Structure 1
Amino acid sequence: MIHTVTPNPALDLTYRLAHLQVGEVHRADDVTETPGGKGINVARVLAALGHEVDCGGFLGGSTGEHLEHLLSHSSVHQDWTLVAGETRRTVTIVDEAGATLINEPGPPVAHRDWERLSRAVQARTRAGDVVVISGSTPPGTGETDLPDLVRALVDAGAQVIVDTSGPALLTVAAAGPAVLKPNHLELQAATGLDDPVAGARELLRRGAGAVLVSRGSDGVLLVTADGAWLARPEPISGGNPTGAGDAAVAALAAAVASGAEGAALAGHLPDVVALSAAAVLMPTAGAVDTDAYARLRTSIRTEPLDAAC
């Protein structure tokens, strides 16, 4: 079973228009409204691929109720921890130049809210299950709240994948997750190291089992105690890249759920890259072009990197 945790979910609003001009009035060509937040996107992609998956996290207010209603139309099971305040909204404006994002901060939470969330996630998780914790944390989150959740799940025998950023990358690494998934800028900011392989190895030294670094059009870098591997996508013109990293995490979760760990994860990098690219081809995050995914995965090659890199 795969569980996802989205500490700071969002109602995603996506506007598509020809050209965004700051300071001008625009008429959108298309508007979509979807349940969002990185963990929810991961869950939706996994469900689309036929995996049994549930999601949880903090939810509040009428916006949270609307998000829950929208997600009820999918096969994703829901188990939310309710808090005071309104679930946030995010706005993505997609034009010929790419995607522009505006993210609200989310409702404030307290340590006791994190304790309730931890109990809820642990109650539905069994030893050997995969738990994906993904995305930003809401205001009021303490330095130990996220690492404590990860540590509790690891101690219970779960395989934990975390996609986070900032100082939390370092503290969560020490909690012993199976995989950490920063992008290259997040890794650089957290470790202070320009070389992504060196930065990933710093997270391994702190306690992570493996590190997957997303690098946009340059593909993904996997670093474990056994070595480092790189996989690159085919060039893709246009599209919406906002859900690409979440699709990569979904493929990673499926790989871990199949029993892959350590160096064996390198064999799944074509799936990670292809699913990420297939997400770019869709107008909103949380969806993938399954035909493109099947086509792309056969063309992607994994390259081992020299140990001295």
Structure 2
Amino acid sequence: MILTVTPNPALDLTWHVDALHPGSTHRVPTGVGRAGGKGLNVARVLHAAGVDTLALTTCGGATGEEFRSELETSGVPHRLVPVAADTRRSVAVVAADRGEATVLNEFGVAPSVHEATLLWDTAVAIGRTARAVAICGSLPSGMSGDALVGAVQALDHSGVPVLVDTSGPAMLAAAEARVTALKPNHEELRAATGLDDLRAGVRALHERGATLVLASLGEDGLLLAHRNGEAVRARFPEVVHGNATGAGDATVAAILVSLAEDPCLAEPGALEATARRAAAWGAAAVAMPLAGELDAALAARTADVIITPDTLDPTPRTEGAA
């Protein structure tokens, strides 16, 4: 089983328009509301791919009732921690003419100390029985990153590979907790490390303690790098236009499948095979109208992914690296 943890879930509301004109009124087909947040989207992808998965998150208020109902209808195995605050909302408007999505994300209200403790304790308890764990998305405003660090360390001590997909100080804290894998995009990498150069930013996360870093680069594909210096770039052969909001979550799902089989991707060819799957699944997600789904034909085209070998200086694992 692969566990996904979403500290800051959202009811995802999506509308599709022919073209988006700021300042104008648009008449649109009925929108779609789904239980979302990065970890939920990852779980949807894994579930659709036939991978045993469990999604853990919080749920509260009137929005939370709609969130819960949709999740139960979806069939994705899940565990919900009740909270008092309303589950936040996320609005995506997908414009057909540009093949782009405009997204508005509410910040989300931090759970109480008791609610947060219950979430993280549950994550660790279930995670210790999992083949891999992903902690995905932002933390609600006011939630300390210390609990995330504690969960990463507890699971690492239990021998469970952990992937974290977040941003800012929480990403750096996860690296320092010796997380197995991090998945920033280039903008998040630059913001967290203060480094414009992609490879330098990746090395900085390795130096802090992360074993693997997958940097997603939009239409330019991705860079997957191991702290041992091995790295590959992967790019789908053509640009796929559509709704890119779930592309990163699909790449996370692809990495988790590999980590569940080889926790450090240390076997020969494992890094390239993982990069191929991640690039293909990312492209397959863009082609779908809603996050958490894959175009099966595109997802299967791993052999078509363009691979370019790369190298980074090996990063020795030293105590107190920063």
- On whether the aligned pair clears a TM of 0.5, the verdict is yes
What residue is the counterpart of 2:288 in the other structure?
282
Within 2, Cα distance between the matches of 1:63 and 1:19?
28
Within 2, Cα distance between the matches of 1:210 and 1:237?
26
Deviation at 1:143?
Answer: 3.5
What residue is the counterpart of 1:299 in the other structure?
304
Deviation at 1:237?
Answer: 4.3
Give the conservation status (yes or no) of the 8 Å contact 1:107–1:139.
yes
What are the equivalent positions in structure 2 for 1:31-50 lying under 5 Å apart?
Answer: 31-50=31-50
What residue is the counterpart of 1:221 in the other structure?
223
Within 1, Cα distance between the matches of 2:237 and 2:116?
41
SS of the aligned residue for 2:134 comes to strand
What are the equivalent positions in structure 2 for 1:75-224 lying under 5 Å apart?
Answer: 75-95=75-95, 96-97=97-98, 98-126=100-128, 129-224=131-226
Deviation at 1:63?
Answer: 1.3
Give the conservation status (yes or no) of the 8 Å contact 1:109–1:139.
no
What residue is the counterpart of 2:248 in the other structure?
245
Give the conservation status (yes or no) of the 8 Å contact 2:186–2:217.
yes
Deviation at 1:260?
Answer: 5.0
SS of the aligned residue for 1:124 comes to helix
Give the conservation status (yes or no) of the 8 Å contact 1:15–1:93.
yes
Change (3 A) 1:157 1:127: farther
SS of the aligned residue for 1:80 comes to strand
CA offsets 1:43-69 (integer angstroms, 9 cap, x no match) = 000000001100112221121122121
Deviation at 1:156?
Answer: 2.4
What residue is the counterpart of 1:270 in the other structure?
276
CA offsets 1:67-114 (integer angstroms, 9 cap, x no match) = 121111233211121111100111100112211001111122234332
Within 2, Cα distance between the matches of 1:72 and 1:64?
12
Deviation at 1:122?
Answer: 1.9
What residue is the counterpart of 2:6 in the other structure?
6
Give the conservation status (yes or no) of the 8 Å contact 2:3–2:130.
no
1:123 partner amino acid: A
Name which of structure 1's ranges 43-52 and 128-137 shifts more when overlaid on structure 2.
128-137
What residue is the counterpart of 2:319 in the other structure?
none
SS of the aligned residue for 1:109 comes to coil
Within 2, Cα distance between the matches of 1:214 and 1:12?
22
Deviation at 1:288?
Answer: 0.7
Within 2, Cα distance between the matches of 1:236 and 1:217?
6
Within 1, Cα distance between the matches of 2:138 and 2:287?
24
Within 2, Cα distance between the matches of 1:156 and 1:113?
24
Deviation at 1:308?
Answer: 6.7
Deviation at 1:3?
Answer: 0.2
Within 2, Cα distance between the matches of 1:192 and 1:107?
28
What residue is the counterpart of 1:17 in the other structure?
17
Deviation at 1:257?
Answer: 0.8
Name which of structure 1's ranges 195-204 and 41-50 shifts more when overlaid on structure 2.
195-204
Within 2, Cα distance between the matches of 1:86 and 1:307?
45
SS of the aligned residue for 1:72 comes to helix
> Where do 5+ consecutive residues of structure 2 fail to align?
315-322
Within 2, Cα distance between the matches of 1:307 and 1:269?
16
CA offsets 1:108-139 (integer angstroms, 9 cap, x no match) = 22343322112111222235621110011112
Give TM-score, length-normalised by structure 1: 0.95
Change (3 A) 1:114 1:155: farther
Within 2, Cα distance between the matches of 1:234 and 1:34?
31
RMSD, aligned CA: 1.7
SS of the aligned residue for 1:194 comes to coil
